[in-house]
Amino acid sequence: MKYYIIAGERSGDLHGGNLVKALRKYDSQAQLRGFGGDEMQQAGVDVIVHYRDLAFMGFISLATSLFKIFGFLSRCKEDILHYKPDALILIDYGGFNLRIAKFAKSHGMKVFYYIPPKVWAWNQSRARKLKAYTDRVFSILPFELEFYKQYKLQADYVGNPVLDAIKGHQIDHNFLTRLGISKDKKLVALLPGSRKLELKLIVPLMAEVAAAAPQVQFVVATVNNLPSELYSALQGKPNVRLIEGETYNLLSYADAAIVTSGTATLETALFKVPQVVVYKTSSLEYLIVKSLIKVKFISLVNLIADKEVVKEMIQHTANKDLLGAELLKLLNDNSYNSSMKTEYERLYSLLDTGSASENTARLITQHMKP
């Protein structure tokens, strides 16, 4: 079978790479082409556009990049028609992928959506588009299925790929020694995110917190597809280290974490690291988002648990004093830590339903049979 696969972000590329590897177990003759990144490319996908060229975040950024986005949409549509795939596999990246799904469906193609857009969070009418433009949706969040029922959308819960990745991680037992990190001091992981706007606003805040706690060691998880100057506020501080590509090793040893809202909040929870979640954006962007959001929480941990498990500090409450106080509580209040870790255990059990990549690949190949 020929598949066209699209992932527009770093996490989607990682999950796409794992899905492709699993897909080849069920379809040894699979041919794949599309938009993605290094992980998908290494798995054997002919990547024609790298996700780093598709990195637009937020309404303001989107509005100023429309010409470029429409150019990529046109290129993608032309390439799909030229490639003539048997099926289209979409991964996350809702704004772009829903348009491609509509296009593919209008040309009679099978469309599968793995890690669908969070239509339950805002603009819930997009669920009707998911139903109209897809043959099957593969969800990685268990509570989504109940939401989809009201739209009679065909969906399966396949497990969560983040848990798959964590299960497959081999801990580097020399991590602390290799980086010269003391075992006698508390270690805090700083996960500022993977988008430019996030880093511009959150890195300076993290730097203020680190400066106010000289007795604590801070290690920043950086990403390689962003300019190093975005981390400049944290560079050169005596109690701060920056590492690249070792987030899971860092979380394996961290005593606590400050995490930008996103997939990293779930990763941190599954490593059972006490955390506080932060989110900051421009004032205009925040007003827009606040008026549209339909859910009580922003972190995946709290959304899946359907209650506050970790503190969320958003916009004005994401400041040095409140964040610093919460961090000290995470580091020193054993009862608080224990309660959070108990909730993490429940979360782990809820998500542990086998390999999401394997389950999705198996279901895709089943649906491809005549």
Give the DSSP per-residue string, 114-142. Answer: ES---TTTS-TTHHHHHHHH-SEEEESST
Instruction: Say if residues 137 and 241 touch (Cβ distance below 8 Å).
Output: no
> 175-351 has which fold?
Rossmann fold (3.40.50)
* Residue 105 near residue 136 (C-beta atoms within 8 A): no
How far CA 285 is from CA of 39, 265, 291, 303, 311, in Å, comes to 31, 21, 10, 22, 22
Query: pTM value?
Result: 0.83
Indicate if 175-351 has the same CATH topology as 2-159+353-368.
Answer: yes
How many Å is the maximal CA-CA distance in the chain?
A: 64
pLDDT confidence of residue 11: 83
Q: Where are the domains of the chain?
A: 2-159+353-368, 175-351
- Residue identified by tokens 């857009």 is 117
pLDDT of residue 197: 81
Name 258's bridge partners.
190, 276
pLDDT in tens, 231-245: 999 999 999 999 998
Place of tokens 């007795």: 215
The 10s digit of each residue's pLDDT in 38-68 is 999 999 999 999 998 876 544 445 555 677 7
Q: Considering only the top CATH level, what class is 2-159+353-368?
A: alpha beta
Give, as one character, the DSSP assignment of residue 239: T
93-143 pLDDT tens trace: 988 999 999 999 999 999 999 999 988 877 777 899 999 999 999 999 999
- 258 φ, ψ to 5°? -110, 120
Tokens linked to 326: 């919460």
